[in-house]
Amino acid sequence: MTNHWVDIRNANLILSMGGNSAEAHPVGFRWVMEAKEKNDARLISVDPRFTRTGAVSDFHAEIRTGTDIAFLGGLINFLIETDQFHHEYVREYTDASLIVREDFGFDDGLFTGFDAESGSYDTETWHYEHDEDGFARRDETLQHPRCVFQLMRAHFSRYTLDVVQSVCGTPRHKIERVWNMIAETVVPDKTMTILYALGWTQHSIGSQIIRTAAIVQLLLGNMGMLGGGVNALRGHSNIQGLTDLGLLSNLLPGYMQLAGSEEQDYQEYIAERARAPLVPDEVSYWRNYERFHVSLMKAWFGEAATEENDWCYDWLPKLSVNLYDVLHTFERMSQGEVNGYFCQGFNPLAAFPHKEKVTASLSNLKYLVVMDPLSTETAEFWKNRGELHDVDPSEIQTEVFRLPTTCFAEENGTIVNSARWLQWHWGAAPPPGEAKPDVEIIAGLFHRLQAMYREEGGPFPDPILNLTWPYRRPEEPRPEELAREYNGWALEDVYDENQNLICGRGEQVGDFGTLRADGSTACGCWLFAGCWTEDGNQMARRDNSDPYGIGMTLGWAWAWPANRRILYNRAGARPDGTPWAPNKALVWWNGSRWVGADVPDFPVTSPPSAGLGPFIMNQTGRGQLFARERMVEGPFPEHYEPFETPVANNALHPNNPLSKHNPAARVFEQDRENFGTLEEYPYAATTYRLTEHFHYWTMHARLNAIMQPEKFIEIGETLANELGIEKGDRVRVSSKRGHVDAVAVVTKRIRPLQMGDRTIHQIGIPIHWGYLGETKKAQLTNALTPFVGDANTQTPEFKSFLVRVDKL
């Protein structure tokens, strides 16, 4: 979230799209109700299903799954053409005025540089035009035909009401109503917040849906504002923390990146990331990349990391492909290219698409290690469960280890919620039997490997032999020690530019500004610097006072970065440093510094007259309407159909087969053959969660099993009538890849969509229930889902695919 849970109460309009927070984030959703009750806010729900969020909304609009870019692209066109965008904000705080290269273009669904053979783009032209000093050219009047504003306007001009209706299937009057309600928040004293979740990410165009939302919020001046923002309501309790700590194939802690195999030179690696401003004098905070990187290397490799060896640059693995994401890894596993796999608190058999492929892949492993507090389907993938999971154990040669771990109630530590709050918790009881904390298991494996490399040798043992291990009991590192390490400390006295001592040797650093690129500081995650300072554990703070009465409890826990609760909050004030509106005051310039209810997201002594842009992480200092080369399928979002779609072609490019689906998506050969056709599988399906269950975990909790005991699917009344299905009937839902049997819930909540002369039906399929635990046994929903991901992140397309439904 750019903003935070309690801040939702400051919104005047809440757009819930790509999420159903009433059901999936119920307690957070109480702040939506608070906004409605106390702030006279209105709630809009746009969803394929009439959900519990829809049920308490002021307005609900149904939409075909996977068409959100069309809906929001139409909104962008509407806001521009009816002149309902925030002129001053757009001019001053976004890159609207920057001029794009002359050779950049877009034609029939494809941006310049597309190579059909490899299915990828050469992004050379996706850049601003530079002047002699390397800065982007600008036109503050926004009239230049190649300024970002005019290009954006032309790009979205195709998204007319008629086109949007024909793509989304939403009735015209509903689209217009939603657009009008949203446009009302263009005034400075009204803000809209956007709440989304996996309903936006789990598409082959997921990242671009979110980009479209960000453009809308920039046009309306809602970023950095109280009650504004683009708010990802993340799925799991610490998925934010794991992302922040970089537990992804290509990342390092704090959103730093591993080098690609071509990046053999350390200085070039740093220069590529420590990017200089593209507009004169802007902050471009990533300029400090090397400080964060060297501090990380010092935290991991200690004395072994020196300037002479480029701080152990070659000790980190380099990437031969962009991502070794889970789809890529399971594809390789299915080809027999992976021998070992660890699942730490993760149940891929249930959680990854195309379960049959996942089963076959796991069967190719030599060894599988599952670390979990609970019994999972993955750990028992070799067990025959009849028609629920039909395998032959004697043919599966995988050696499987299942290691019992503690759960949250049995250990100390932090988790990071959606609002970026690091909250410390304490264990209350020992785990069952011999279960151990994950940290001890990792330590146990690591020490054994270290001993083997010491005794037997082996390829490149240096990082293993030299990894720092500054823990009092090496076999049981304590969470407190690990938290102090990712906060970071000074290895030498650290001075500021005026030679004042700011952090003594051995002291915890107070913030990431203290970190140095000369090896004098160690820090495991620069973004978390400040969470455990010389004043102790800031994440354990419990002062819930709210001095400004706007829900800003800065003394409760600790938020990254720097305990800031609303990102980009400088944009919440006018260019002259005064709040946009009295009821939206958040941070402001008091004549000598930035002050207010939040920690300013800005150099605190930089006066408004200096004119620095508020988006200090960007090279332009501005919100990016134009993504440049940062998105693989283009600098502007474009609607592409899901890989399994209930329509014959992409209404925006009916004659170009290359732009029917996301042109830059990665599809493996075998998976392309496993896509179903509209003729065989005529209905659009989407998966979702229920309020009573959390994925496959609560199948094991009795109370939740009692509340929702049995697998069901949702089907609209019209279609059910056509198929002769009555409520309570057992049905089989099938895709090209598999089937699940479930009870049919026949409902008014899913309406058929009228698109031209066609009627499109959608089926709702909860992801829950499996064949372990306390609930009634069922097949896993991911037997159905397609093996294709978002082109940028490779998040699987769980939200849009094709099925058929048969009565059993």
Q: How many residues does the chain have?
A: 808
Phi-psi region of 499 (alpha: psi -120 to 50; beta: other; left: phi over 0): left
Q: Which long-range contacts (CB under 8 A, 24 or more apart) does 533-538 make?
A: 533/487, 533/508, 533/509, 534/507, 534/508, 534/510, 537/424, 537/480, 537/483, 538/563
Residue 23 · residue 689 · CB < 8 Å = yes
Tokens of 26: 């119920």
Smallest separation (angstroms) from ligand SF4 to the CB of 25: 6
Give the whole-angstrom CA distance, residue 79 versus residue 87. 11
Residues 5-34 that bind ligand SF4 (CB under 6 A): 25-27
Give the whole-angstrom CA distance, residue 192 versus residue 185. 6
Task: Mark the segment that binds other proteins (CB under 8 A) among 143-151, 215-223, 320-328, 721-729.
Answer: 320-328
Decide: residue 473, CB within 10 A, 0-12 exposed, 13-18 middle, 19+ buried.
Answer: exposed
Q: Is residue 236 within the footprint of ligand SF4 (CB under 6 A)? A: no
Smallest separation (angstroms) from other proteins to the CB of 508: 15
Q: What does 317 interact with, of other proteins, ligand SF4, none (CB < 5 to 8 A by kind)?
A: other proteins
Q: Which is nearer to ligand SF4, 66 or 773 (CB)?
A: 773
Give the whole-angstrom CA distance, residue 795 versus residue 69. 17
Q: Which is nearer to ligand SF4, 238 or 538 (CB)?
A: 238
Q: Is residue 28 within the footprint of other proteins (CB under 8 A)? A: yes
Cβ within 8 Å of residue 451, ≥6 positions away? none
Q: Is residue 235 within the footprint of other proteins (CB under 8 A)? A: yes
Q: Is residue 693 within the footprint of ligand SF4 (CB under 6 A)? A: no
Binding mask 403-422 for other proteins (x = CB under 8 A): xxx-xxxxxxxxxxxxx-xx
For other proteins, which residue of 227, 241, 623, 738 counts as binding (CB under 8 A)? Answer: 241
Smallest separation (angstroms) from other proteins to the CB of 5: 5
Q: What does 548 interact with, of other proteins, ligand SF4, none (CB < 5 to 8 A by kind)?
A: none
Tokens of 140: 């503050």
Q: Which is nearer to other proteins, 139 or 263 (CB)?
A: 263
Phi-psi region of 682 (alpha: psi -120 to 50; beta: other; left: phi over 0): alpha
Q: What does 240 interact with, of ligand SF4, other proteins, none (CB < 5 to 8 A by kind)?
A: other proteins
For other proteins, which residue of 325, 601, 644, 714 counts as binding (CB under 8 A)? Answer: 325
Residues 600-629 that bind other proteins (CB under 8 A): none
Q: H/E element holding 232?
A: strand 230-232
Q: Is residue 294 within the footprint of other proteins (CB under 8 A)? A: no
Tokens of 462: 């240096």
- Dihedral of the alpha carbons of 163, 168, 174, 177, in degrees to the nearest 10: -60
Q: Which is nearer to ligand SF4, 24 or 494 (CB)?
A: 24
Q: Is residue 337 within the footprint of other proteins (CB under 8 A)? A: yes
Give the whole-angstrom CA distance, residue 526 versus residue 51. 40
Smallest separation (angstroms) from ligand SF4 to the CB of 740: 25
Smallest separation (angstroms) from ligand SF4 to the CB of 508: 30
Cβ within 8 Å of residue 669, ≥6 positions away? none
Task: Mark the segment that binds other proteins (CB under 8 A) among 432-440, 569-577, 583-591, 717-725.
Answer: 432-440
| E strands, 474-601, in order | 489-490, 494-495, 501-503, 521-522, 532-533, 536-537, 558-559, 587-589, 594-596
Residue 228 · residue 222 · CB < 8 Å = yes
Smallest separation (angstroms) from ligand SF4 to the CB of 16: 15
Smallest separation (angstroms) from ligand SF4 to the CB of 52: 13
Q: Which is nearer to other proteins, 524 or 637 (CB)?
A: 524
Q: Which is nearer to ligand SF4, 146 or 695 (CB)?
A: 695
Task: Mark the segment that binds other proteins (CB under 8 A) among 140-148, 179-187, 377-385, 575-583.
Answer: 377-385
Smallest separation (angstroms) from ligand SF4 to the CB of 344: 21
Q: What does 342 interact with, of ligand SF4, other proteins, none (CB < 5 to 8 A by kind)?
A: other proteins
Residue 751 · residue 318 · CB < 8 Å = no
Q: H/E element holding 332?
A: helix 326-334
Q: Which is nearer to ligand SF4, 26 or 317 (CB)?
A: 26
For other proteins, which residue of 430, 549, 591, 724 counts as binding (CB under 8 A)? Answer: 430
Supply the Cα-derived Rg of the chain in whole angstroms.
Answer: 26
* Nearest residue to 295 via CA among 505, 512, 507: 512
| E strands, 237-339, in order | 251-252, 256-257
Residue number, nearest CB to ligand SF4: 27
Q: Is residue 266 within the footprint of other proteins (CB under 8 A)? A: no
Residues 349-368 that bind other proteins (CB under 8 A): 351-352, 366-367
Q: Is residue 409 within the footprint of ligand SF4 (CB under 6 A)? A: no
Q: What does 629 interact with, of other proteins, ligand SF4, none (CB < 5 to 8 A by kind)?
A: none
Give the whole-angstrom CA distance, residue 428 versus residue 693. 24
Q: Which is nearer to other proteins, 129 or 546 (CB)?
A: 546
CB atoms within 10 A of CB 319: 16
Q: H/E element holding 389?
A: none
Q: What does 314 interact with, of ligand SF4, other proteins, none (CB < 5 to 8 A by kind)?
A: other proteins
Q: Which is nearer to other proteins, 437 or 716 (CB)?
A: 437
Smallest separation (angstroms) from ligand SF4 to the CB of 526: 28
Q: What does 175 interact with, of ligand SF4, other proteins, none (CB < 5 to 8 A by kind)?
A: none
Smallest separation (angstroms) from ligand SF4 to the CB of 418: 10
Cβ within 8 Å of residue 264, ≥6 positions away? none
Q: What does 206 interact with, of other proteins, ligand SF4, none (CB < 5 to 8 A by kind)?
A: none
Q: Which is nearer to other proteins, 706 or 808 (CB)?
A: 706
Tokens of 233: 């309501």
For other proteins, which residue of 144, 796, 797, 804 counts as binding (CB under 8 A)? Answer: 796
Cβ within 8 Å of residue 626, ≥6 positions away? 95, 98, 100, 128, 148, 151, 152, 635, 636
Q: Which residues of 510-521 are buried (b: 16+ CB within 10 A; e: fewer)?
A: bbbebbbbebbb
Q: Which is nearer to other proteins, 325 or 638 (CB)?
A: 325
Q: H/E element holding 423?
A: strand 421-425
Q: Which is nearer to other proteins, 250 or 656 (CB)?
A: 250
Residues 23-82 that bind ligand SF4 (CB under 6 A): 25-27
Smallest separation (angstroms) from ligand SF4 to the CB of 691: 8
Smallest separation (angstroms) from other proteins to the CB of 697: 7
Q: Which is nearer to ligand SF4, 26 or 458 (CB)?
A: 26
Task: Mark the segment that binds other proteins (CB under 8 A) among 221-229, 397-405, 676-684, 726-734.
Answer: 397-405
Smallest separation (angstroms) from other proteins to the CB of 735: 18
Number of residues near ligand SF4 (by CB under 6 A): 3
Q: Which long-range contacts (CB under 8 A, 24 or more apart) does 407-411 make?
A: 407/373, 407/431, 410/435, 410/437, 411/437, 411/479
Q: Is residue 610 within the footprint of ligand SF4 (CB under 6 A)? A: no
Instruction: Give the pairing type, strands 494-495 and 594-596.
Output: unpaired
Residue 119 · residue 641 · CB < 8 Å = no
User: Could you list the residues that contact ligand SF4 (CB under 6 A)?
Assistant: 25-27
